[in-house]
Each structure stands twice: as structure tokens, then as C-alpha cells.
Structure 1
Amino acid sequence: MILFLRFHHESGNLLYYSDANLSDSIIIDPQWLIDAFKSLITARMFCCRQPKIFEKWIQFDESAILTREIVEAVWENSMFHEHIELLLDYLEKLGIIAKPPQQIDETEVTNYYFAPCFGKKPPPEDLACNDCEDRRSTSKLCFKTRSGFLPTAVFNRLLAACISKWPLTKINGKRSVFCGCGIFDLKDNHILYVYFFDHVIQIWITKLSAKDREPSTSLCLDAYAFVLDLLQNRLRLTSAMEVFLRSQCSDLHSNHKMCTFDEKAKKTEVVCSCRSEKHVLRTNELTKYWQLSKADPKVKPKVLTDKDINRMAQHIGKEYKSLGFELGLSQVEIDHINLDSETTTDRTREMLMKWKNKEEGEVTLEMLKNAMEEAVGIDAQEVLQKADISI
């Protein structure tokens, strides 16, 4: 039954997740969930009749803050009211809404959500990038797909994940989430900017300090790893991600002058024309905050080799079909593998090789481990231990 549900989930016929708060429920008509969210974002006329609720809805319309009062009022006399908690859990799981983390120093209970896809307010024109006496910014790290197309929905899901992980910066008492941008407070006076323009995601970190102005490399690498893992592994984009660098003072409304780490490494200095007067930047100043460490598997995952596949195929077992669905293989592809191979080990090996060959760019052990953790009946840690493989 679980395998059946996962197959139809991957096919888009229903929604089923193994999360503790969702595993006991199945949405057999995904349109029902769409209709539930649509009723919230189109409830202006309904809320007009209730002044207190209308004020909250206007706030939602302006700032994308979805309060519990709005949800209760709009769904009160509908078929959705009985399943409020479940619907909110599903919307959060799908990255449509996000609940901000509760901060220790705040008395306010975060019993509300942000809906990034509903944001209309543009980001401030003067986003802090350039250095000054008490502020220093990193270079900009850019993510784009090899195809050159990155849907806005992908950025909104990334923004929702960031909202769930880090507290939003407050500007004049208002949380800084905008259409195509989010600004987050990190530790030790660091601020993370997540920005989207013309199919490219840009992130950079600014540190505010009058004494030690240098941004923390570990915080930069943590943010890099989080964003890269979400885009490469968790969102399952059909086109491989590519990572570039830009000068900290580069124009946010342009995606010119993007270079890879390898391109920067060829020169010790590069000429930057982001300002009216050209100036020289040292290469290490651009790369040092984001430089991948080969010794740090969290940042640079180990590439999956054919030898790794051969060793792991012996220990995955009969639940390989469930893993195949998690890796994006179709039922037809798995059926063909079953016909062409006799043993479970051979079928598992062929399935993993087919997945590896279908992927654009390098596939990693981390990607396979994540898929095994989502698959039903497979203990990823046990498989890795038996295959004597570390990530």
C-alpha cells in the first residue's frame, strides 16, 4: 500500500507524505488543497463584511502575513474548517506557507504564517551591499540552472524554507519579506540577504560591527550549504544548478559579470566595472567566504561512483522500488529493469545506474542518502554502514 501511495504521489494523482504529522492522511484530490488556499487569497470581499478580519486581510495582502484569525474566519462555514490543522500542515510541507521560528527574546507567539508567493511589496532600493565604517559585506553568491530558467515558485519555496529556519530582520518594526527578497538575522550581527532577479538567486551576508568587521566564514558556508542542498536535492529540479560569484557592489537588477570559482582562481586580481570608475578586486576577497572545503562533506558532498553503487546495491534489498520512485524513475522504467535483471541486487544496481545517467551533472552520495531516508522500508544509515561508505 505504501509503495502504491508513493507511486501515485510521484505521478501527481494524490498527496502522501511519511512525515509524522501527515502520514495518517492522504489527499486523494490535490485540487481540494489548491481550492483551500485559493479561498484564502481571494477572500477580500468576504473579509470586507468583517472589519476586524478585514484589517488582518489587508495586512496579509500587503505583507503576506497569514494569521490564524483569517484562516478561521474564511474557512469557518466551509468544508475546509474540519481539517484546518491538516491543511495548514500540508501547505507548510509544500512550501506554500512558512511559520517563522519562535525567538527566545520575543514575547510574541508566532502563531501566524508567511505566504511568499503572495508577496507584492518590492524590496528596498538601498539594500546594504557596500562596505562602510561599521559594515562589511561578502561577495554575492549566485545560483542558476544550466537551462537558464528558474521558476519563481522555486524561489518562493526557498524563501519559505529560509523563513522557517532564520528570523526575519525587522525594518521599522516590520519583518523584511518582499516579492523576490528576504532579509534574515543570523548570529553575531550578521544579516543574510536572499534575492531573486531574472531566473538567478543571489545571496550575500553583511556583518555589522565597529570592531571586528569580517563576516564569519562558517556562517557563510552554512547558508551556502543550506541553499545548495535545497535547490539540488530537496526540490529535485530537472536542470542542474550552477554556482557563480559576483562583486559585492554589482547591480542587483542585472545578472552580468558572473564568474565561477574556477574562473576566478585563474587570476589573482580582476577588474570590476560595477561602479562608474573601474577598480581592481583581489580574487581571494571574492572567494574566501564561499570557498568549498574538500574536507567538509556538509559543503562539498562526495561524488557517487560506480563502485559506491555496486556496494550499496547489495544492501538496499527488496524495497528498491520505493527508492526508485524517490529518485524520479517511472513505473515503466522500473518494470523494464525487473525484466532485464534477475536478482534484487542486479535490479537495484541497474536502477541506480539509470538514475545516475539521467541526472545532469554529478550526483552525490548525499543525494542518494536523502532519497533513501524518504523511501519506505530502507534504513539509510544501515545501508551505508554495511557498504562501508561514509558521507
Structure 2
Amino acid sequence: MEQMRKINSLQPVRPLTEEELKVFLKFQHSVGRILYFDEENLDQHIILSPTHLIDAFKSIVTDRRFCEGDTKRLESWNLMNKKGIIEKNSIDKIWKKKRYNKFKDHREYLLGVMTHLDILVEPKRYDKSQTRIPAEFYYVASMVRTNDTTGYLMSPTFTKRNIAIAFSHSSLMIPPALSFRFISYCLSIFAVKKTGQNDEDMLFHRSAIFNIDQSLDMCVNCDDEVIVVRLVHLRNRTLIMRDLATSIRECLAVALEKISQLYVKTSSTDVIASKSSFNLSLCCSSFDDPCFLPMSTIEDQDDSWICPKHGIEHTKDLMSSWDIQKDDDIQCGKSCPVTDTEFLKQIPLDIHFRRLSMQYSINEIKELGMHLGMDYQTWDDLYVTFGEEPERLKFEALRRPFDGSHLSFNDIRKAVEFGKIRTIHCLCKLGFVMSW
């Protein structure tokens, strides 16, 4: 030991480089000694006591009994319990109290961590001119306990308007925490559907209904054994775009695999680590005790599958909507939106960025973003933040050049054309959204 001290004393002391420091902090984070998030706007803070962050979480996400005697906080808790939302000013009021005052000085950082971990999700809101406006609240999916009593799923035409897929975990059990995180992920990407005279959000306990576009909804329902995702068309399921169903399935599958890593212990060997945690099944279009058919057996089916419990026929064409090969060779007619001046003048919404991003690889999105004015530093920052969530990365990278700008669909068309990134007729599918 003495010899080691002598040897060490002869070595010059030098400060760590920024990269070495990050490696050190990430290792300390991985073994639970500190909390450090290598994310944009979060990487300037280090939490030496993880319980500090847990206490901040518990000041918002808590049990009702801890709100007794505090009228304002009880009102906030009831709102989360019923609608799954908490107003931003309610958080400020909670953190002004003596017990939680220590969190007030680090408000932006703590809220940033909570949104990064999908504990809180900030909804996307737009005014009548489609300009982004800040939301006054966060979604808290883990807190909502209200069940769906809207009758949406009980429509007499529901079975004729939806196609469904099911994700079942290889462990045969889906932890509630995984369900909440999955719904939070969907909240960060898709707009929640509204219903009733008061435009109530259709966010419920372990389930939610989202708007894909004006003619298409996505219904997510999680229970202890399976997560069912349904695409529900306004009129008929045969009008659901097949490649869109495939893209959504791929997007959600990647998200589920990433989220499940937080809750399922797996071997570190390459063989096990690369194995999917979820099994995919086709789900029949009945919401009441649905039947399931493993996706791997679809090719062995004849022209259709008649589910055993309900006798509903599902054609092979519809069944394969969830798993088709993308075709870059799109044929368009005279009404192609690429030649429609009014369409090209429009400013894209998040739904358009989402649909367009699903058609491209990460490298293609990077190239497209550069042609739209995104710089390399912005791309690097986005890659660090969303590199493990490819669909989220593509969406954010495509949307970023439009923040605070007046770019339009025509700018996308020019970027695609100039960079020779596939065919400009990828915009035809975005025109489908506008046509409704």
C-alpha cells in the first residue's frame, strides 16, 4: 500500500476532459451513487442524493392521504385523479410551501427531469392560425383513475371501423408502471382525442384515445397481460392506410422495447439482449374479450381469419396492414398534392411531421433536416437526447427547423427534390391528412 502511495505521488495531477468527466458521471449514475442525465438542458446539474429527486416527484405524484388538510393540493390531486392533468401554477403553489420550498430554486431542472422520464408530459397546443402556444398543464398518466364511460368503444359500427394489434410481454405480465410510461410516450407524440360538450380529454386509467388525423383515431388499452392498439377509422377500416399502420406498429414496438428495459432484468449476453421482450399478435376487431392470432402465423392463413369467439371475418389484406414492405414507388394521379399550390402553402403540423418522419430512415431525416436549415450542432444535440428512440429522434429532427420559422410544405418539397431524397411524392400521404 505504501509503495502504491509513492508511485501515485509521482504522477502529475491533471483535470479530466469534458468527455472523461461525462463518462465518470454516467458510470456513477449507473451504479446509483448520483443522478446525472446526459441530456440537453439537464447535463449541467448533478444530484448527489437521489432521494432529493424522489422527494420532488412525491410532492406531485403522491397518495391522497398526504394531501389531507391542504385544500389547494387536494383540488390538484382530484384533478389528476379524474383527468390525469396538473396545472403548472399548481406545481408552483406546492413548491412555495415550506416543506417543498427547496425545489423552487431548481424548478426548470426538476420539471425537465420529470418530462424526460415521462412522469410529466407537456401537451402540444396550437391557436387558430396553427401557431404553437405553451400549454398551462402537464399530463400525469400514472395518476388518472377514471375509466372510459364515453361509449366510444360501444359504437354499433366499431367492429367495422378498426384494425388492432396486441403486444404481450414474454414474462406474461405487464407492470402498471410500464403501461403508464407507454401511454406517456404516446401523449408526447400524439394528440389526445376530445369528446363531449366540454371537449374532455379521452385519457383514462391505463387507456387513452388519440387523434392520428381528422379521419383516424388510435385507441390504446393496457391491462396486466396485453397492450392492445387499435386504429379506428371514421367510416370504414378498409380506408386505413396500410403503410401508416405498419409505421405506427414499428414506432410503438421500438418504444415498448426501450421502456421495458427499465423494468425487466435480462442477461447481458448479446443473444439474450437482442431478443424481443414482446410478442406480436393480430387482435380481432371486437373490443369485448377480443381474440388473438400470432403475427407469425398470418402467412399460413388462407384469404381470411374468422375469429373463434365472435365469428368476425378479417381479410388477409387487412391483417397484413400491420406488416407490409414499404414501397418507394408511389404512383399519383392528377390530384397529387405535390402539384397543389394551396397545399404547398400550408405550414405543417406535428401530425404531418410525424407521418413524414415514419417514411424515412434516420440518415435520410438528417439530410432532409440539413436542407431545411438545421445545423450540425442541433442534430448532434438531438441525437444525444433521442438517439435511443429512433422514431422520436426523426420526428424532433424534422420538426426543429420549423420552430419560429415560416417554412411550408413547399420548402419540404424543395428539400426533398434538391437532396434527391427518395421521391417528392412522399408528400402525397400528407395531402391525405389535409383532404379530410
Which of 218, 222, 232 in structure 2 is aligned with 1:192?
A: 218
Q: Equivalent residue for 1:215?
A: 240
Counterparts of residues 70-89 of structure 1 (less than 5 Å): 70-76=90-96, 77=98, 78=100, 79-89=102-112
Counterpart CA distance in 1 for 2:254 and 2:165 is 14
What's the secondary structure of 1:117's corresponding residue? Answer: coil
Deviation at 1:71, TM superposition (A): 0.6
Structure 1 residues 219 and 92 mapped into 2: Cα distance closer, same or farther (>3 Å)?
A: same
Counterparts of residues 25-64 of structure 1 (less than 5 Å): 25-42=45-62, 54-64=74-84
Structure 1 residues 122 and 43 mapped into 2: Cα distance closer, same or farther (>3 Å)?
A: closer
Say whether 1:101 aligns with 2:124.
yes
Unaligned 5+ segments in structure 1 are: 302-325, 327-365, 371-391
Using structure 2 for the length normalisation, give the TM-score: 0.60
Q: Equivalent residue for 2:36?
A: 16
Structure 1 residues 192 and 175 mapped into 2: Cα distance closer, same or farther (>3 Å)?
A: same
Structure 1 residues 251 and 368 mapped into 2: Cα distance closer, same or farther (>3 Å)?
A: closer
Structure 1 residues 197 and 126 mapped into 2: Cα distance closer, same or farther (>3 Å)?
A: farther
Counterpart CA distance in 1 for 2:133 and 2:201 is 13
Which of 279, 301, 307 in structure 2 is aligned with 1:242?
A: 279
Structure 1 residues 259 and 367 mapped into 2: Cα distance closer, same or farther (>3 Å)?
A: farther
Q: Equivalent residue for 2:190?
A: 166
Using structure 1 for the length normalisation, give the TM-score: 0.67
What's the secondary structure of 2:217's corresponding residue? Answer: strand
Counterparts of residues 1-391 of structure 1 (less than 5 Å): 1-42=21-62, 54-76=74-96, 77=98, 78=100, 79-105=102-128, 109-124=134-149, 126-128=151-153, 132=157, 136-172=160-196, 173-209=199-235, 214-233=239-258, 235-236=260-261, 237=264, 238=266, 240-252=277-289, 257-268=291-302, 269-275=304-310, 278-288=311-321, 290-293=322-325
What's the secondary structure of 2:153's corresponding residue? Answer: coil
Deviation at 1:231, TM superposition (A): 1.4
> Is the helix fraction higher in 1 or 2?
2
Deviation at 1:294, TM superposition (A): 6.6
Counterpart CA distance in 1 for 2:229 and 2:389 is 26
Structure 1 residues 72 and 48 mapped into 2: Cα distance closer, same or farther (>3 Å)?
A: farther
Q: Which amino acid is the alignment partner of residue 308 of structure 2?
A: S
What's the secondary structure of 1:100's corresponding residue? Answer: coil
Counterpart CA distance in 1 for 2:162 and 2:79 is 33
CA deviation string 1:178-215 (max 9, x = no partner): 111011111232111111022311111111148x9612
Counterpart CA distance in 1 for 2:107 and 2:122 is 15
Structure 1 residues 7 and 282 mapped into 2: Cα distance closer, same or farther (>3 Å)?
A: same
- Does the CA contact (< 8 Å) of 2:192 and 2:209 recur in 1? yes
Counterpart CA distance in 2 for 1:96 and 1:115 is 6
What's the secondary structure of 1:116's corresponding residue? Answer: coil
CA deviation string 1:210-254 (max 9, x = no partner): 8x96122243233212211111246535462221111111535x6
Q: Which amino acid is the alignment partner of residue 153 of structure 2?
A: A
Structure 1 residues 225 and 368 mapped into 2: Cα distance closer, same or farther (>3 Å)?
A: closer
- Does the CA contact (< 8 Å) of 1:136 and 1:214 recur in 2? no
Q: Which amino acid is the alignment partner of residue 146 of structure 1?
A: S
- Does the CA contact (< 8 Å) of 2:85 and 2:137 recur in 1? yes
- Does the CA contact (< 8 Å) of 1:135 and 1:208 recur in 2? no
Unaligned 5+ segments in structure 2 are: 1-20, 267-275, 329-356, 362-383, 392-436
- Does the CA contact (< 8 Å) of 2:36 and 2:45 recur in 1? yes
CA deviation string 1:159-179 (max 9, x = no partner): 111111111111222111111
Deviation at 1:50, TM superposition (A): 6.5
- Does the CA contact (< 8 Å) of 1:271 and 1:280 recur in 2? yes
Counterpart CA distance in 2 for 1:281 and 1:216 is 16
Counterpart CA distance in 1 for 2:76 and 2:153 is 30
Counterpart CA distance in 2 for 1:147 and 1:57 is 33
Structure 1 residues 32 and 295 mapped into 2: Cα distance closer, same or farther (>3 Å)?
A: farther
Q: Which amino acid is the alignment partner of residue 59 of structure 1?
A: L
Structure 1 residues 129 and 282 mapped into 2: Cα distance closer, same or farther (>3 Å)?
A: farther
Structure 1 residues 86 and 178 mapped into 2: Cα distance closer, same or farther (>3 Å)?
A: same
Q: Which amino acid is the alignment partner of residue 285 of structure 1?
A: L
- Alignment root-mean-square deviation, CA: 3.6
Q: Which amino acid is the alignment partner of residue 266 of structure 1?
A: D
Counterpart CA distance in 2 for 1:175 and 1:368 is 26
Counterpart CA distance in 2 for 1:34 and 1:53 is 18
